[in-house]
């Protein structure tokens, strides 16, 4: 629907962008935002005034603004705590979990952010430390070469560059790192605005795609596509393989693990 697409991309995106700053928003202000969204949903669906709110949200596939703000804030907090464990803000957030949840909204962002993770149900995951390795895992010696090598792309090309030129440069880059007998994979993972997710890879004319759990992140979908390519490569003949992906976050994660 054109109206829904416009609402999600032009209006709802503003809420998504500012959500981590809004968990402590006063109830009166939050209610006014909810009323504005409800009116928008009625306009999109051409629904009568007596239509229930949960029916409007289900038909449009959009949660309430309060739930969306809590969800986006919780995601931001979880990523921040994991990526910056030594920051002062991370220490304050973890200390806040030792206190009970606030009954009244205040202007303390740390309290509101911690309460958002409690409301969504991921506070235990935020407080948990790094996952322990498998008991049988043994770190490889430092002199052993890495099983994989990561080649990051160069500088981004101007958007005005012609597609034919980009294609020629990409083919030249692929040829430069390929050797006789190398198997080449192209992977991609994506998540729709409704939460449906999928992963796929292409290898020498063979196309494989699969649906994955709804609600996962685009990062998880990209990693799943790479995993599917690796599992497919295990059944092939011996030889080098090249996997091409457009996910820089996946490359960074694999480079860190290797």
CATH 2.60.40.10 given to domain 163-257? no
Residues 228 and 226: their CA atoms lie apart, in Å, by 5
Please report, for the chain, the start and end positions of each structural domain, with discontinuous segments joined by +.
2-127, 163-257
DSSP class of residue 217 equals: -
The closest alpha carbon to 240, from 155, 159, 149, belongs to 149
Model confidence over 6-43: pLDDT tens digits? Answer: 888 888 888 889 999 988 888 888 899 999 999 989 98
The closest alpha carbon to 223, from 193, 192, 247, belongs to 247
pLDDT given for residue 188 in this prediction: 93
166: left (phi over 0), alpha (psi -120 to 50) or beta: alpha
pLDDT tens string, the chain, 258 residues long: the values are 688 888 888 888 888 899 999 888 888 888 999 999 999 899 888 888 888 988 888 888 888 999 999 999 999 999 899 888 888 998 999 988 888 887 666 678 888 899 999 988 888 888 887 777 778 878 778 888 777 777 776 666 676 667 788 788 778 877 777 778 788 899 999 988 777 899 999 988 889 999 998 878 889 999 999 999 999 888 776 778 889 888 888 888 887 766
Q: pTM for this one?
A: 0.59
Give the Å distances, CA to CA, from 54 to 59, 60, 63, 93, 214: 9, 10, 9, 33, 20
């Amino acid at each position: 629907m054109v109206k829904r697409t416009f609402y999600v991309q032009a209006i709802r995106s503003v809420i998504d962008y500012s959500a981590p700053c809004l968990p402590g928003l006063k109830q009166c202000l939050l209610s006014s935002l909810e009323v504005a969204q409800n009116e928008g949903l009625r306009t999109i669906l051409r629904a009568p005034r007596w239509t229930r709110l949960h029916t409007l949200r289900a038909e449009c596939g959009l949660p309430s603004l309060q739930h969306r703000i809590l969800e986006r804030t919780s995601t931001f907090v979880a990523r921040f705590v994991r990526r910056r464990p030594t920051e002062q803000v991370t220490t304050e957030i973890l200390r806040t979990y030792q206190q009970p949840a606030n009954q009244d909204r205040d202007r303390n962002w740390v309290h509101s952010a911690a309460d958002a993770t409690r409301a969504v149900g991921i506070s235990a995951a935020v407080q948990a430390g790094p996952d322990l390795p498998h008991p049988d895992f043994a770190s490889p010696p430092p002199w052993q070469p890495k099983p994989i090598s990561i080649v990051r792309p160069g500088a981004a090309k101007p958007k005005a560059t012609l597609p034919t030129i980009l294609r020629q440069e990409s083919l030249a880059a692929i040829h430069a790192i390929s050797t006789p007998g190398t198997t080449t994979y192209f992977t991609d993972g994506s998540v729709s605005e409704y939460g449906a997710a999928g992963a796929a890879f292409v290898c020498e004319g063979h196309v494989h795609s699969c649906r994955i759990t709804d609600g996962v992140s685009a990062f998880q979908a990209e990693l799943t596509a790479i995993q599917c390519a690796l599992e497919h490569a295990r059944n092939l003949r011996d030889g080098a393989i090249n996997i091409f992906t457009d996910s820089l976050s996946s490359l960074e994660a694999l480079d860190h693990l290797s």
